[in-house]
Amino acid sequence: MLGAHEPDTTPVTINHPCFSRLYPFTERALNRIVGKARQLQNAQVAGRTLIIGAGTGLDVPVLGAAAGEVVLLEPDATMRRILFQRYPHLTSWAAAAETIPSPADTFDTVLSSLVLCSVADVDRVLHEITRVLKPDGQYLFMEHVRSPRPAARFAQSTLEPGWRRFAGGCHLTRDVEGSLRRSRLRLTHCEAVRSGGIMPVIRGRAVSPDG
């Protein structure tokens, strides 16, 4: 098992070119659904900030005024090309969230928006977030999750195999709050943003265990 300050260098390959090319066409609809929650979430960003799974960069325009240097982490080559076109002035890293290429204790804030649904290993990602956060650092998240409603959970489980193939490896049934509570991060806030349908959304904040 990895120690708290030991980087994970095992490579993780991500490549969903069809999904990545189509994603920009969904941005307007996505902002209608979670745009307000994204603004509230990102207003809390402070200091040197790492955005994991940066995608097409929807988080960047609504970062709070206290944000310092911003680093974009995105493993998919198609998404990275879009990021470079939109934000050529920002640093971009071609790596998965399971293998953040950074020393320990280097970021004040780590941010994720609708990312943990599609990572290969949620626990490994949370370990990496914990590792790169400064002792007084924070992790801000907005993620879609497993429904608390039995009928919706059944629909999620039924649809998930086909959905994963269509939506770039996205899982509908992940218990993000449970994963956070099992991690070394200390969860300080978690609330439902959208509770209905097959894609309920939560947002919240966790802090470094060393704070």
Task: Return the domain boundaries, the chain.
Answer: 17-207
pLDDT for the residue 31:
76
Closest CA to 15 of 73, 79, 71: 79
The segments of the chain whose pLDDT lies below 50 read 1-3, 6, 8-13, 25
Whole-structure pTM value? 0.86
Q: In CATH, which of 3.30.360.10, 3.40.50.150, 3.40.50.300, 1.20.1560.10 is domain 17-207?
A: 3.40.50.150
C-alpha to C-alpha distance for 4 and 153, rounded to whole angstroms:
34
C-alpha to C-alpha distance for 120 and 18, rounded to whole angstroms:
19
C-alpha to C-alpha distance for 130 and 151, rounded to whole angstroms:
34
Pairing mode, strands 67-73 and 133-144? unpaired
Strands (E) across the chain are located at: 47-52, 67-73, 91-93, 107-113, 133-144, 186-194, 201-207
